[in-house]
A and B are shown apart, each in its own frame.
Chain A
Amino acid sequence: DAGITQSPRHKVTETGTPVTLRCHQTENHRYMYWYRQDPGHGLRLIHYSYGVKDTDKGEVSDGYSVSRSKTEDFLLTLESATSSQTSVYFCAISEGEQGQEKLFFGSGTQLSVL
């Protein structure tokens, strides 16, 4: 599992509340990613990080922010959750030498916004 832990595994929240999802890795990987998975859409990249305090936007970044204050933790925050953000959220890391990288995913967080 490349040492990736996501928390929480499940969360139910109300519209308008802030939510933070955590991704923790134990193997000092430089690159970390947040994806969301929705039926009929596959997985789509929200944000990614290429080092401590180095982050960039992905395909569907609106309504989300991220932070990476240390190598092992990559946090995804929904400042004011909306029902359209109900989804399964996956954290991923890149492993391997440049040109040989592979992505490994965490077990996902099921988020329901009521």
Chain B
Amino acid sequence: AQTVTQSQPEMSVQEAETVTLSCTYDTSESDYYLFWYKQPPSRQMILVIRQEAYKQQNATENRFSVNFQKAAKSFSLKISDSQLGDAAMYFCAYRAYSGAGSYQLTFGKGTKLSVIP
């Protein structure tokens, strides 16, 4: 079974600074997807960024980028120029590329990010 581990329950960052959230995962598959979701206090789950395992290039979305290390099974999220609105729970998630498991997202336990003005 796949597992996703977020080793940092809480983190904080100064406004306008950069912060990196860690995520590691365990799988025997070679093709899969990885995601970061943001959950603000409103409770809405918001997709931040998505990475296909077969792509070597790291995904980027504006101020959000990932460092995908397939051999190390590591998928960290970097937030640049942090803003107050970035304060939220962040969840790392894994999904198989095909087969029965491709319909299920496996989530980590989350990292609570605080942004200090």
Interface residues of A (CB under 8 A from B): 1, 31, 33, 35, 40-45, 48, 50, 56, 58-59, 88, 90, 92, 99, 102-105, 107-108
Interface residues of B (CB under 8 A from A): 4, 35, 42-45, 47, 50, 91, 93, 97, 103-105, 107-110
Q: Please name 7 pairs of A and B residues whose Cβ atoms are closer than 8 Å in the assembled complex, sorted by A.
A: A40-B109, A43-B93, A48-B103, A92-B45, A104-B47, A107-B42, A108-B44
State whether A103 and B43 are in contact (beta carbons under 8 Å apart), knowing that A42-B109, A45-B104 are contacts in the complex: no
Are B104 and A103 interface neighbours, CB within 8 A? no
From B35, B42, B103, B108, contact of A50 by CB (8 A)? B103
Shortest CB distance B100–A (Å): 8
From A43, A88, A102, contact of B91 by CB (8 A)? A43
Q: Which residues of A contact B43 (CB under 8 A)?
A: 88, 107-108
State whether A90 and B103 are in contact (beta carbons under 8 Å apart), knowing that A41-B109, A42-B109, A43-B91 are contacts in the complex: no
Q: Which residues of B contact A99 (CB under 8 A)?
A: 97
Residue of chain A at shortest CB distance from B46: A105
Shortest CB distance A72–B (Å): 19
Q: Which residues of B contact A33 (CB under 8 A)?
A: 103
